[in-house]
Amino acid sequence: MTTKRSAAGLAGLARSAPWLFSFVGALVIFAVTLAANNWSGAGQIITAALSFGAFYAIVGIGQMFVITTGPGNIDLSVPATIALAGAIAMTTMGGSDAMILPGLAAAIAAGFLIGSFNYLLIWLLRIPPIIATLSSSFIVQSLAIVYGRGLRIAPPPFLAEIATGRVLGVPILAIVTILLAVVMAVVLHRSVYGRSVTAIGQNINAADLAGVRVGTMRFATYALSACFAAFCGVMLAAFSGGASLNMGEEYLLASIAVVVIGGTSVAGGFSNVSGIWGAALFLYLLITMLNTLGVGAGLRQIFTGVIIVAVITLAGGRKKGRG
């Protein structure tokens, strides 16, 4: 009886505050890590989690808007975009502080073009977004390889300072990303664009009949996701002392994982931004915990995978629409 009631309570909580679970999970893992570490080094762990979590959060927010527009909508071109944008930014900047803004603009513009190309394929060829972003990511990947060949240009000092520096112990990049998350949460829940994206995800035909400009909104969503991936690429290159071709690799899985663990429905039409931060911290702390416990690379991957599957199994498949 009590278990039934608490299960119902949990389900209710999952509906009213889906972001809560990722933060609770992050806290639990954080506590275990600290215990294994003899209750020391808490500050260091939090700082590292905030820095690395920020990268997950940036790509996660873009991916979330795409996933919100409904089943089958996933941007697979994130890793290729990260690699190309990072290379473009580092080349344009050429290590000079004065060129930071032009370099950033060039990278974001490249992201915008990639996103536009993605939607052009979806719209013109009427193909599922997964296939469209997959095909374009092949091309972008080749461009990144050719463009970034043997290139290892150090980031401008000021940009590197932003990517790695701290204010009062808090990473600057984390502050920027938290602000970004707040802005995007307002966009998602309060702006015409955000409401339209949610409406499209719940029922694209109903949204169309209700006067939502479906095409424009979907175009904006794919462009937005690619721009966020491009921004992540620039900051990642600045963080790690230069762009590399495979620096985007892990972000395909990570971007989807943080969205889902954060409580956004994969069926679309139901999402939140704050859960992404919780999930980003969760993912990074999980890796830290397994490292602290002395778990090897193989077991670490197995645990990560099992936990992703367990989270989605517990969260359950939400039926499409309001149900």
Partner 1 sequence: MPRTILDPKILRSLVPALSFAVLLGAIFYVQPRTMSYFGLNLMLNLALPIAFATIAQMFILTVNDLDLSIGSFVSLVACITATWLNEAPLLGVVALLGCIAAYAALGALIHLRNLPSIVVTLGMSFVWSGCAILLLPSPGGSAPDWLSGLVKFRMPFIPFSILASLILGLIVHFALMRSATGAVLRGSGGNPQAVERAGWSLLKTKVTMYALAGFFGVMSGMILVGTTTSADANIALRYTLFSIAGVILGGGEFTGGRVSPIGAILGALTLALVGSLLSFLRISPEWQIGAQGIILIVVLALRSLVNRLEERQA
Q: Using CA atoms, how far apart are residues 40 and 216, in angstroms rounded to an integer?
A: 51
Q: Is 215 in the site for partner 1 (CB under 8 A)?
A: no
Which position among 166, 195, 213, 300 is part of the footprint of partner 1 (CB under 8 A)? 300
Q: Which residue lies nearer to partner 1 by CB, 128 or 241? A: 128
Q: Is 291 in the site for partner 1 (CB under 8 A)?
A: no
Encode burial over 42-65: b for 16+ CB neighbours within 10 A, e otherwise.
Answer: eeebbeebbbbbbbbbbbbbbbbb
Instruction: Pick the piece of the chain touching partner 1 (CB under 8 A) from 153-161, 213-221, 223-231, 309-317.
Output: 309-317
Half-sphere exposure of 200 (CA within 13 A, CB side): 27
Given a contact cutoff of 8 angstroms between Cβ atoms, the answer to whether 57 and 177 are in contact is: yes
* Burial degree of 170 (CB within 10 A; 0-12, 13-18, 19+): middle
Q: Is 7 in the site for partner 1 (CB under 8 A)?
A: no
Q: Using CA atoms, how far apart are residues 256 and 269, in angstroms rounded to an integer?
A: 16
Q: Using CA atoms, how far apart are residues 273 and 285, in angstroms rounded to an integer?
A: 19
| Residue 139 C-beta: closest distance to partner 1, Å | 4
Q: Is 2 in the site for partner 1 (CB under 8 A)?
A: no
Per-position DSSP letters for 38-77, written without gaps between them: TT--HHHHHHHHHHHHHHHHHHHHHHHHHHHT-TT---TT
Q: Which residue lies nearer to partner 1 by CB, 127 or 178? A: 127
Q: Using CA atoms, how far apart are residues 280 and 25, in angstroms rounded to an integer?
A: 11
Counts for the chain of helices (H) and strands (E), in that order:
14, 2
Given a contact cutoff of 8 angstroms between Cβ atoms, the answer to whether 245 and 88 are in contact is: no
Q: Is 313 in the site for partner 1 (CB under 8 A)?
A: yes
Which position among 143, 154, 176, 204 is part of the footprint of partner 1 (CB under 8 A)? 143
| Residue 250 C-beta: closest distance to partner 1, Å | 11
Instruction: Pick the piece of the chain touching partner 1 (CB under 8 A) from 88-96, 99-107, 223-231, 304-312.
Output: 304-312
Binding mask 102-141 vs partner 1 (x if CB under 8 A, - otherwise)? -------------------x--xxxxx-xx--xxxxxx-x
Nearest to 315 by CA among 40, 52, 11: 11
SS3 170: strand
Angle at 151 between CA 225 and CA 227, to 5 degrees: 10
Q: Is 154 in the site for partner 1 (CB under 8 A)?
A: no
Q: Is 3 in the site for partner 1 (CB under 8 A)?
A: no
Binding mask 48-87 vs partner 1 (x if CB under 8 A, - otherwise)? -----------------------xx-x-------------
Instruction: Pick the piece of the chain touching partner 1 (CB under 8 A) from 84-92, 107-115, 191-199, 296-304.
Output: 296-304
Q: How many residues contact partner 1, by CB under 8 A?
A: 48
| Residue 107 C-beta: closest distance to partner 1, Å | 20
Q: Per CB under 8 A, which of residues 246..265 are in contact with partner 1?
A: 253, 256-257, 260
Q: Is 27 in the site for partner 1 (CB under 8 A)?
A: no
| Residue 205 C-beta: closest distance to partner 1, Å | 16
Q: Which residue lies nearer to partner 1 by CB, 76 or 104? A: 76
Given a contact cutoff of 8 angstroms between Cβ atoms, the answer to whether 115 and 285 are in contact is: no
Residues at the site binding partner 1, with contacts judged by CB under 8 A = 71-72, 74, 121, 124-128, 130-131, 134-139, 141-143, 145-146, 149, 253, 256-257, 260, 266-267, 296-309, 312-313, 316-317, 319
